[in-house]
Amino acid sequence: MDRPTGILAVGVGGQGIILATEILSELALSAGFDVKKSEVHGMSQRGGAVVAAVRFGEKVYSPLITEGEADYLLAFEKLEALRNINYLAPDGILIANSREIYPAPVAAGLMDYPADVEERLREYARNLVLLDATELALKAGHPRTLNVVLLGVLSTFLKIPVELWEETIRRRVPRKAVDANIKAFHLGIEQRRVE
């Protein structure tokens, strides 16, 4: 029996991380996999950290992903990617949004945002896709489609048909946002490039 695939999604509140993992969970179920999901979003309403995990495979016994076990780290903000890089498997793939969202101490002027985040990500992640997903979301028609841009990139690594992704996105996003989300998904697909 193959080991389940583990995807860890990290970022800050309001970026659509929970919706992204709901789409992933429903997608994996539709594709015939056993699925488990967990999430931690304590201070997310105030821009705090959000971490959500999805594991799917033939049989999954736990939703938890331990250090060094995530096949994919889906980072909605690059400092959150760095904070959670220890969860990425040695041959895992990091897909990260290059935009910065300043945590409260940085926004208040009490601390500086680290200048070397991207260099450190390249040092720690053997397989990295770094992109301005925020810009692509705007190009798709709405900044809140950032999550689906990142799912588009992820879809290029998973052996699940694009049509099933599109069906799941159509079911999970608000009807008025379907077109922008489908466009965002395809813009993400076009970005696959591992550094």
Q: Tens of pLDDT along 164-194?
A: 999 999 999 999 999 999 999 999 999 976 5
Give me the CATH number covering residue 67: 3.40.920.10
pTM of structure: 0.92
Residue 195 within a domain: no
In a domain? residue 145: yes
Pairing of strands 5-12, 70-75: parallel
For the chain, the domain total comes to 1
Percentage, residues of the chain above pLDDT 90:
77
Structural domain boundaries, residue 133: 5-189
- Encoded tokens for 30: 């539709």
H-type helices in 49-176, by residue range?
A: 78-83, 104-107, 117-124, 133-140, 146-155, 162-172
Residue 75 is predicted with a pLDDT of 97
Q: Which two tokens stand for residue 22?
A: 């709901």
* pLDDT tens-place string over residues 104-158: 777 788 888 888 999 999 999 999 999 999 999 999 999 999 999 999 999 999 9
